[in-house]
Amino acid sequence: MVQSNAEDVDGYLAEVPAARQEALRRLRELCRDELVGYTESMAYGMPVYERDGGAEIAFASQKQYISFYLMRGDVRDAFAERLAAQDMGKGCLRFRTPERIDFDLVRDLLRATAVGPGTMR
């Protein structure tokens, strides 16, 4: 599933392959726990977390991997050393299998994002 037509995150999670559901539910739980004050919604066919009308975090089940989108350039810069060992595109971490998700890193990225507004790139 590259892009979903689900109306909400519950619907999205119901559509993903069974082998990925637990990992994606855990990503959602982390987002909801750490991103206090953010709005959870669907945009571009995936779950997104917005603050003040701007999406800062998203995740998706892609064909070949699970993506975790970190739209904050300042947070990416602050975590450059830890992110260097990850499979990372311009703004997303790619996890080839659910077992490869570094939930501790994700939690730290979410906490850094939630501290306050920053630079989007």
Number of folded domains in the chain?
Answer: 1
For residue range 60-109, list pLDDT tens digits in order: 999 999 999 999 999 999 999 999 999 998 889 999 999 999 999 999 99
For residue range 78-89, list pLDDT tens digits in order: 999 999 999 998
Question: Does 63 reside within a domain?
Answer: yes
Question: Does 119 reside within a domain?
Answer: no
**8 A C-beta contact, residue 113 and residue 31:** no
Question: Does 21 reside within a domain?
Answer: yes
Question: Does 2 reside within a domain?
Answer: no
**8 A C-beta contact, residue 71 and residue 55:** yes
Question: Does 97 reside within a domain?
Answer: yes
Domain that residue 24 falls in: 9-114
Nearest-CA neighbor of 34 among 115, 93, 117?
115
Quote the pTM value.
0.92
Question: Does 107 reside within a domain?
Answer: yes
In the sheet that holds 54-61, the strands lie side by side as 39-43, 46-51, 54-61, 66-70, 92-95
What CATH number has the domain bearing residue 23? Answer: 3.90.1150.200
Question: Does 20 reside within a domain?
Answer: yes
